[in-house]
Amino acid sequence: MRKTIAVALTGASGMPYGIRLIECLLAAGCRVQLLYSQVAQIVARQEMDLALPARASEAEAWFSAQFKAEPGQLQVYGREEWFAPVASGSNPPDAMVVCPCSMGSLASIAAGLSSNLIERAADVCLKERRPLILVPRETPFSTLHLENMLRLSRMGVVILPPNPGFYQHPQSIAEMVDFVVARIMDQLAVPHELMRRWGESASN
């Protein structure tokens, strides 16, 4: 059975992580339910010169063509699309990743606000005990940020800051991005070959 993974892009720096994650999940054969905020559109343009379409149907067509998704493998939902599967515990994804995750989104999820589809989808994962991974991109963290992360961690949420390691001697930004995406894929238990694992030689 294919895994269904909800991916949410919010208005924090680190959009290359989220876009690469979508690409890798599709390549691994997962179904992807994509959500993104209005501020994420601004960040995508600033960091990647990428114009994310405002309309979900246009975004779905663009991502599907860009990453060669199979028909129906990728679905994109608008911010207020309350009839989307992710909005109900009767049809939750197998897991959800918010990448990048802004501190505002993290705080709203911690408080259970559910004021938009991203927050509601995260709330569904929490109440249905589905894996929820947040990739917070901020530095330094304030005490409030840390308290919100601790609160979520105690609920079983994985807090995965995008901190690439350097023991693999990365030669490009893309390799540093893949390091973080590999950690996310591991948490989702989705196979990948993005990098050698610790202790493996180049011949393995």
Provide block-wise average pLDDT over 10 residues at a time, the chain (204 residues): 94 98 98 97 97 94 96 95 96 98 98 96 98 97 98 98 94 97 97 88 62
pTM of the model: 0.95
**What residue numbers does the annotated binding site for dimethylallyl phosphate cover?**
167, 183
Q: CATH topology for 4-188?
A: Rossmann fold (3.40.50)
Q: According to the model, what pLDDT value does residue 1 have?
A: 67
**What residue numbers does the annotated binding site for FMN cover?**
11-13, 37, 102-105, 137
For 70-121, give the DSSP string: PTTTEEEE-TT-TTSGGGSTTS--SEEEEEEE-HHHHHHHHHT---SHHHHH
Sorted by where each begins, the domain ranges of the chain are 4-188
Interatomic CA distance for residues 126 and 132, integer angstroms: 7
**What residue numbers does the annotated binding site cover?**
11-13, 37, 102-105, 137, 167, 183
Q: According to the model, what pLDDT value does residue 204 have?
A: 56
* Contact between 47 and 19 (Cβ < 8 Å): no
Give the closest residue to 160 by CA, choosing from 173, 175, 170, 149.
Answer: 149
Give the HSE-up count for residue 33: Cα atoms under 13 Å, Cβ half-sphere. 24
